[in-house]
């Protein structure tokens, strides 16, 4: 089953392909715990600037997407996937589970709500194990 959310996940890192999927009035929101980078990014220009910053500053665009769950229709869809790439700052591997909810309008993505393991992401950016628990000071492995 192909959905707008799944198609977006499969296009991660390919900004030109992603751009073709966006409605002109697109809005992209991220997890609240991401603070100032959470958005919302409103309008095509703002979303494209956000995409260019993500894959130009934080991650290499080359990645692997493993779809874990995908469901929905043209109006509302969701995808859960494993996103694997490398961090630009350190060239270290980055692999994390993400969830995207996408709302469609006129066959294009009109709204995106992106969620991820924000603690795992912060740990990976800090060069620590993804599952490091700051409350007990160790990982589960």
pLDDT category, 36, cuts 50, 70, 90? confident
Instruction: Say which residue, 16 or 131, is predicted with more confidence.
Output: 16
Buried-state track 38-64, b at ≥16 Cβ within 10 A, e below 16: ebbbeeeeebbebbeeebeeebeeebe
Report the predicted TM-score, pTM, of the whole model to 2 decimal places: 0.91
pLDDT value at residue 82: 97
What three-state secondary structure class fits 47? Answer: helix
pLDDT in tens, 39-90: 899 999 999 999 999 999 999 999 999 999 999 999 999 999 999 999 999 9
Q: Is 136 among the domain residues? A: no
pLDDT value at residue 37: 84
Rounded Cα distance, 91 and 10, in Å? 22
Owning domain of residue 22: 4-125
Q: Is 137 among the domain residues? A: no
- Domain count of the fold of the chain: 1
Rounded Cα distance, 102 and 40, in Å? 14
Q: What percent of the chain has pLDDT over 70?
A: 97
- Asked if residue 140 has pLDDT above 80, the reply is no
- Asked if residue 97 has pLDDT above 70, the reply is yes
Q: Is 75 left (phi over 0), alpha (psi -120 to 50) or beta?
A: alpha
Q: Is 95 left (phi over 0), alpha (psi -120 to 50) or beta?
A: beta
pLDDT value at residue 141: 65
Q: Is 134 among the domain residues? A: no
Chain-wide mean pLDDT for the chain? Answer: 93
Tokens 């990014």, residue?
A: 41
Q: Is 83 among the domain residues? A: yes
Average pLDDT estimate for 79-102: 96
Q: Provide the CATH number for the domain around residue 88.
A: 3.10.450.50
Q: Is 140 among the domain residues? A: no
Average pLDDT estimate for 84-103: 96
> What are the counts of helices (DSSP H) followed by strands (DSSP E) for the chain?
4, 6
User: Where do the H-state alpha helices sit in the chain?
Assistant: 4-10, 15-21, 44-53, 118-125
């Amino acid at each position: 089953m192909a959905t707008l959310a799944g198609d977006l996940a499969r296009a991660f890192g390919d900004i030109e392909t992603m751009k073709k999927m966006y409605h002109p009035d697109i809005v992209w929101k991220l997890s609240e715990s991401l603070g100032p980078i959470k958005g919302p990014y409103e309008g095509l220009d703002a979303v494209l600037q956000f995409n260019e910053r993500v894959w130009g500053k934080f991650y290499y665009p080359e990645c692997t997407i493993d779809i874990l769950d995908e469901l929905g229709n043209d109006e509302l869809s969701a995808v859960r996937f494993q996103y694997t790439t490398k961090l630009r700052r350190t060239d270290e591997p980055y692999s994390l589970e993400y969830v995207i909810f996408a709302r469609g309008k006129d066959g294009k993505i009109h709204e995106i709500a992106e969620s991820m393991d924000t603690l795992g992401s912060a740990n990976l950016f800090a060069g620590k194990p993804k599952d490091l628990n700051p409350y007990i000071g160790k990982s589960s492995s």
